[in-house]
Amino acid sequence: MYSVEALLDTALELFMELASDNLPEHEITLFNDAFNSRGLLAETEPSEEWEADVGFAVNDADYAEVWVGLGNPQQEYEHLFARMLLSRRIDEKFCHIEWLPQ
């Protein structure tokens, strides 16, 4: 199983690799301008909504949801660039991304 640090590193790496193909240019600019000062990257329990998107039951023992966004001074998300579902298992390469979730 991935450690939380490794999971977050993997999520950010995948986000950076895929963002230019999936986000509008103004969102890329916002990310580049603000992520170093206001960026938030956090793991959370997977939402029940993922099952409809990926077609199988998602449990928090095997999968993690990671949010990539910008926060306010209270460390609350103000803008979400992506919600990502990643496998916690090192031997399973799985990632599903919802870009600009509401």
Token readout for 48 is 């029940």
Start-to-end C-alpha separation, the chain: 30
For residue 68, list its beta bridge partners: 41, 82
4-99: which CATH number, 3.10.450.140, 3.40.50.300, 3.40.50.1980, 1.40.20.10? 3.10.450.140
pLDDT exceeds 90 at position 102: no
Average pLDDT over residues 18-27: 98
Average pLDDT over residues 9-19: 97
Q: What is the pLDDT of residues 27-81, one digit of tens each?
A: 999 999 999 999 999 999 999 999 999 999 999 999 999 999 999 999 999 999 9
pLDDT at 62: 95
Sign of the CA dihedral 29, 64, 7, 62?
A: negative
Give the domain ranges of the chain.
4-99
DSSP secondary structure of the chain: ---HHHHHHHHHHHHHHHHHHHS-HHHHHHHHHHHHHHEEEEEEPPPTTHHHHHSS---TTTEEEEEEEEE-TTS-EEEEEEEEEEES-TT---EEEEES--
Q: Is the pTM for the entire model greater than 0.85?
A: yes
